[in-house]
Every structure is written in structure tokens, then in C-alpha cells.
């Protein structure tokens, strides 16, 4: 029988949906089918906390909970708010989630959670040294993992290239909005990733986000020295990483 210590509920809070599942933090496997509830509108901290409580009750879970959020999270406080209600800015979010759910909740940035999951169970499994994860979507999220340890809240999507933010010229949304061809988009993306490569000298770069499913269309056009691979865990990466983070492994 598996020790209950390895069963941790991971929850991923997004702008449109809040999803989660109990995770075996030793193997990264889901221990039940994931469950999703639409994000309440407006997505205030109190309203979102009530949905997190519903997920805990759905899985009849009473232990420690790992929870992601699309914001900079420092010592349990959300300092920014992307795609969610602005009342999250400077909110004592971790304390509120713990209070409303009646469970011990640990909160972290969503890209950071995905990075942890990919480094341990996905595309970075078995790779030592420094791993850089970039999630390409509405914006560009990032995570930096060094020998399995997270350097939190990197926000590399906000670096400036030619006076413009990286995510404002190279996100997947920009590709779609400007109807860029894969090669054309890859050239712009390559400039930003190459800049980060020169700053960080990572051992592996992982590209996540929905567009990673089409990695064969743009990864071959990236001109980089570092190996670049698509993420493997896709939509589960956030809550798997959150569960792993909460477990303290």
C-alpha cells in the first residue's frame, strides 16, 4: 500500500478554469481523473478560494494542497494579476486559501510549477544542471530550475528586446494575432531565447504552452546552442508541479 505522504492534491488556477487532481509525488502520476471548474467571474480571491474548496471536497481530500496562480507569488502574497481580477494584487492569497478551504495550502507561480513538474517527471527528467522552461501562450511564462531547485518568479517574458517586451513580440498570441508563419515567428522567438541563453547558459531549454504540440513546425528554426525540447506533461504540468512543491520533495 502506498504511503499517504506521497498523495498530494495539486490545483492549477487559470483565467478560464481551475483544475486539479491528487498526484503521486514520487512518480508524477495522477491518482484520480482530473476535475475542472470554470473560473468564477469576477475572479476575486474569495470567489476563487471557494472553488478551490469545492475541488478539495470533490476529491474528499484533507491534507496539504499545492496551488498554482498566474502571478508573482512571494511568501504567499500575490504581487501581480494576469488574466484574473486585479484585487489579487498584494493579496495575502495563501493565507486566504488556507482559511477558506480549511486545508494547508501552499501557493506558487503557475510557470514555476510547470517547470518543477517537467524537470522531475517530464522533458527534463534525468537532466542535471540548469533547466529553463518557457511557456508560450497569451504571454510568455518562465521557470528556472537548478539541480532540481526552483529559482522562483523569474518573469523572463518581460525582458526587453529592441525596446519591446519579449512576450509582446514573441508569444503564441502574437503569432496568431499577426498571422505570422512558423519560420517568421521562430526567428523572433529565437532572438529572445538566444538572449536568455547568453545570460543563463542553461543545460536544457523546454518549450511549453499549447503551441508545444506543434513543436516540429518551429523548433527546427530556432538558432541556439542549447538543446531545446517540447514539454511533455502539457495541461497537467501545473497541478503536478504544485503537488510536488507542496510535498517538499
CATH homologous superfamily of 4-112+236-247 equals: ATPase, nucleotide binding domain (3.30.420.40)
The residue-averaged pLDDT of 120-144 equals 97
pLDDT of residue 118: 98
Mapped onto helix, strand or coil, the DSSP state of residue 118 is helix
Spell out the alpha helix ranges (H) of 5-89. 45-58
pLDDT tens for 53-96 read 999 999 999 999 999 999 999 999 999 997 789 999 999 999 99
Which grid coordinates belong to 83?
488574466
pTM for this model (two decimals): 0.95
Q: Could you give phi then psi for residue 34, rounded to 5 degrees?
A: -65, 150
- What is the percent of the chain with per-residue pLDDT over 90, rounded to a whole number? 94
pLDDT tens for 99-119 read 999 999 999 999 999 999 999
Kind of pairing, strands 65-69 and 35-38? unpaired
The residue-averaged pLDDT of 149-159 equals 97
249 or 212: which carries more pLDDT confidence?
212
pLDDT tens for 30-57 read 999 999 999 999 999 999 999 999 999 9
17 or 2: which carries more pLDDT confidence?
17
pLDDT of residue 5: 58
The CA radius of gyration of the chain, in Å to the nearest whole number, is 18
The residue-averaged pLDDT of 138-160 equals 96
Say if 4-112+236-247 and 123-232 have the same CATH topology: yes
pLDDT category at 249 given cuts 50, 70, 90 is confident
* Rounded distance between C-alpha atoms, residue 246 and residue 8, angstroms: 7
pLDDT of residue 1: 36
The residue-averaged pLDDT of 199-216 equals 96
> Domain ranges in the chain?
4-112+236-247, 123-232
123-232, which class in CATH?
alpha beta
Torsion of CA 127, 130, 136, 141, to 10 degrees: 130
- Quote the mean pLDDT of the chain: 96
Amino acid at each position: 500500500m502506498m504511503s499517504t505522504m506521497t498523495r498530494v492534491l495539486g490545483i492549477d488556477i487559470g483565467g478560464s478554469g481551475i483544475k486539479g487532481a491528487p498526484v503521486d509525488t514520487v512518480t508524477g502520476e495522477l491518482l484520480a481523473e482530473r476535475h475542472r471548474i470554470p473560473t468564477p467571474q469576477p475572479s476575486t480571491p474569495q470567489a476563487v478560494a471557494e472553488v478551490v474548496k469545492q475541488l478539495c471536497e470533490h476529491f474528499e481530500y484533507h491534507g496539504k494542497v499545492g496551488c498554482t496562480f498566474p502571478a508573482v507569488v512571494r511568501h504567499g502574497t500575490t504581487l501581480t494579476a494576469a488574466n484574473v481580477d486585479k484585487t489579487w494584487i498584494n493579496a495575502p492569497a495563501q493565507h486566504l486559501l488556507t482559511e477558506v478551504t480549511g486545508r494547508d495550502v501552499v501557493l506558487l507561480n503557475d510557470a514555476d510549477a510547470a517547470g518543477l513538474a517537467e524537470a522531475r517527471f517530464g522533458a527534463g527528467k534525468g537532466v542535471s544542471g540548469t533547466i529553463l522552461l518557457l511557456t508560450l501562450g497569451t504571454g510568455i511564462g518562465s521557470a528556472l530550475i537548478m539541480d532540481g531547485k526552483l529559482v522562483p518568479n523569474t518573469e523572463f517574458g518581460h525582458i526587453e528586446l529592441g525596446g519591446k517586451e519579449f512576450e509582446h513580440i514573441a508569444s503564441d498570441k502574437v503569432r496568431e494575432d499577426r498571422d505570422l508563419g512558423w519560420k517568421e515567428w521562430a526567428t523572433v522567438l529565437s532572438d529572445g531565447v538566444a538572449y536568455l541563453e547568453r545570460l543563463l547558459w542553461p543545460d536544457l531549454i523546454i518549450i511549453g504552452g499549447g503551441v508545444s504540440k506543434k513543436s516540429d513546425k518551429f523548433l527546427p528554426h530556432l538558432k541556439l546552442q542549447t538543446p531545446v525540447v517540447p514539454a511533455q506533461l502539457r495541461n497537467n504540468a501545473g497541478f503536478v508541479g504544485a503537488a510536488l512543491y507542496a510535498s517538499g520533495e
